[in-house]
């Protein structure tokens, strides 16, 4: 079998892992005599331990089982995202990359040693059941998640469509753990949704970075280019995806300069991605919405736009997943997943374990409004100018007639239920006024 590498592009979980193949020669290194002697000693020690365990362990364990356990332990101890993929794990990874699968619809990651929900995917069983970004998963059915890897957790959560599962979580602000009942479903992801606010503000929701994100966003921008005075890019609870799509999305708004770079142990792992003026579609003001569920590719986009001073970031600090994993097949049915590099934003700052900080921090929630039922307006006066009122009322009726199909429109009532989005709209208005 050819020795090839399958690169995953820095996701917060393996749920959307996808990549490309390249030669194994990039890891080639000529060992010194001292290195060779040290390596032989280490291998001798390893072989001796394997032999002792095989001979004296209380339970009969085969050499194959011992090797799998050794590989699993070694990979787990490197970092939270590296691991050994058995035949079953490797097959599941390939299922995950197909774009449609049975499960809950959440992406998970390790945060401070705990299995944490990065984000529920829009309109999936987990989203409808009420799982939220930041929830810590204590149990999956009756199994504790302590010392469990991400892939083991994903394996337990995946199952037949229609089968129920109970997830026990710890949530900030709740006095005791919550048990959430979820019924597994087919997980398909629609990555780009667009709506209009106040006729001239384009709202684009990007749920994940699949292979068509940049194309779909460009299509929405071009469709409404003549009337758009500002764009709100919603990356909240977006767990990441393809690196090239993140780069292409930034390129739509930025005409020159570095977008992101990756640096690894070897020079051959280093990459730099830059903007091109030919790909830039718009220069209208941009606001990006982010939160703790924005990870990986979402952090690259928001961080790059922030560094280029091309957008105002609103919301909460992002997840902090800025590493590159590579899947290396070791047999036809087994592989290892290994972290080989970290991402860096145009300014040189890292995303890993730090995340991207918003320019304006806004906690989620509703806009509190107070109606004054005792206020008196001109229309309440006994002898008001009725003809003028009729004109106003007539206009109102026209507006209602125009807005019959509200599918692609965000109404003021919807805005009041999302204070982060409301803040973004207000910033766009202010930026549009300043720009003239």
**199 given a catalytic annotation:** no
> How many Å is the Cα radius of gyration of the chain?
26
**DSSP-derived secondary structure for 123-166:** TSHHHHHT--TT-EEEEETTEE-TT--HHHHHHHH---TT-EEE
Compute the distance between CA of residue 115 and CA of residue 353 in angstroms, rounded to an integer.
Answer: 15
**195 given a catalytic annotation:** no
- Inter-helix orientation angle 87-96/150-157, to 10°: 70
Cα distances (Å, whole numbers) of residue 29 to 148, 268, 302, 366: 34, 12, 37, 57
**How many other β-carbons are positioned within 10 Å of the β-carbon of residue 272?**
12
Cα distances (Å, whole numbers) of residue 41 to 35, 37, 93: 10, 6, 35
Three-class secondary structure of residue 170 per DSSP = strand
Q: Which two tokens stand for residue 320?
A: 């902090």
Asked if 313 and 290 count as a contact pair (C-beta separation under 8 A), the reply is yes
Please pick, among 127, 151, 210, 307, the residue that the annotation labels catalytic: 307
Please pick, among 13, 208, 294, 296, the residue that the annotation labels catalytic: 296
Please pick, among 111, 321, 337, 422, the residue that the annotation labels catalytic: 321
Sheet holding 286-290, edge to edge: 360-361, 312-315, 286-290, 230-234, 201-206, 192-197, 409-410
In terms of Cβ atoms closer than 10 Å to its own Cβ (0-12, 13-18, 19+), residue 30 is exposed
Closest CA to 426 of 347, 280, 312: 312
Closest CA to 392 of 376, 410, 408, 377: 377
Chain position carrying tokens 């810590």: 136
Compute the distance between CA of residue 245 and CA of residue 165 in angstroms, rounded to an integer.
Answer: 33
Compute the distance between CA of residue 343 and CA of residue 332 in angstroms, rounded to an integer.
Answer: 30
**359 given a catalytic annotation:** no
Residues that are catalytic: 296, 307, 321
């Amino acid at each position: 079998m050819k020795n090839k590498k399958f690169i995953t592009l820095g996701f917060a979980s393996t749920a959307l892992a996808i990549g490309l193949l390249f030669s194994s020669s990039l890891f080639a290194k000529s060992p010194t005599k001292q290195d060779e002697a040290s390596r032989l000693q280490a291998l001798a020690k390893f072989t001796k331990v394997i032999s002792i365990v095989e001979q004296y362990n209380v339970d009969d364990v085969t050499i194959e089982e011992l090797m799998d356990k050794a590989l699993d332990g070694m990979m787990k101890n490197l970092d939270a995202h590296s691991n050994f993929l058995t035949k079953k794990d490797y097959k599941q990874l390939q299922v995950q990359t197909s774009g449609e699968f049975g499960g809950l619809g959440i992406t998970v990651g390790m945060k401070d040693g705990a299995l944490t929900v990065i984000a529920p995917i829009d309109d999936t069983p987990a989203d409808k059941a009420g799982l939220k970004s930041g929830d810590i998963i204590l149990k999956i059915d009756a199994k504790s998640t302590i010392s469990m890897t991400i892939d083991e957790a994903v394996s337990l959560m995946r199952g037949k469509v229609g089968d129920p599962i109970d997830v026990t979580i710890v949530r900030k602000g709740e006095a005791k753990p919550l048990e959430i009942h979820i019924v597994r479903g087919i997980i398909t992801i629609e990555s780009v949704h667009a709506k209009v606010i106040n006729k001239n503000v384009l709202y684009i929701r990007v749920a994940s970075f699949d292979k068509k994100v940049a194309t779909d966003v460009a299509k929405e921008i071009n469709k409404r280019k003549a009337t758009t005075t500002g764009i709100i890019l919603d990356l909240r609870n977006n767990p990441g995806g393809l690196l090239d799509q993140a780069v292409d999305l930034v390129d739509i708004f930025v005409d020159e300069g570095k977008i992101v770079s990756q640096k690894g142990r070897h020079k051959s792992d280093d990459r730099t991605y830059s903007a091109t003026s030919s790909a830039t579609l718009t220069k209208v003001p941009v606001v990006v919405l982010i939160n703790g569920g924005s990870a990986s590719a979402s952090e690259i986009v928001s961080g790059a736009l922030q560094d280029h001073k091309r957008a105002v970031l609103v919301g909460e600090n992002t997840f902090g997943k800025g590493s590159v994993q590579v899947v290396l097949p070791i047999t036809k049915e087994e592989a290892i997943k290994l972290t080989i590099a970290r991402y860096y934003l145009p300014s040189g700052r890292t995303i890993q374990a730090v995340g991207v900080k918003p320019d304006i921090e806004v906690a989620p929630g509703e806009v509190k409004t107070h109606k004054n039922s005792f206020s008196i307006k001109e229309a309440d006066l006994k002898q008001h100018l009725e003809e003028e009122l009729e004109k106003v009322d007539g206009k109102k009726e026209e507006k209602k007639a125009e807005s019959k199909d509200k599918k692609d429109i965000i109404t003021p009532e919807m805005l009041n239920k999302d204070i982060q989005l409301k803040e973004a709209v207000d910033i766009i208005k202010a930026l549009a006024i300043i720009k003239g």
